[in-house]
Amino acid sequence: MGTSRIVVAACVAGMIALIVAVDILFFRDRFWERLLANIGIVLVCAAFAVRFLK
């Protein structure tokens, strides 16, 4: 059970890092594009977690 928590924490940390990097590199002054990209990243990470971590 402890290993799965570490994997989940690593996935969440990776998702946060990816969102911050995309925000800074591509969508600094564009609110709606940034919001849509962030939602897309979260959905892709959630689909990955459901598919491979379950």
Residue type, 28: R
pLDDT by 10s per residue, the chain, length 54: 577 788 888 888 989 999 999 988 988 889 999 999 999 999 988 888 888 776
The answer to whether 8 and 53 have CB atoms below 8 angstroms apart is yes
Sequence spans of domains, the chain: 2-52
Distance CA(11)–CA(43), nearest Å, equals: 13
12: part of which helix (H) or strand (E)? helix 2-25
Q: Which residue from 11, 17, 18 is spatially nearest to 46, judged by alpha carbons?
A: 11
Say what the pTM is: 0.78
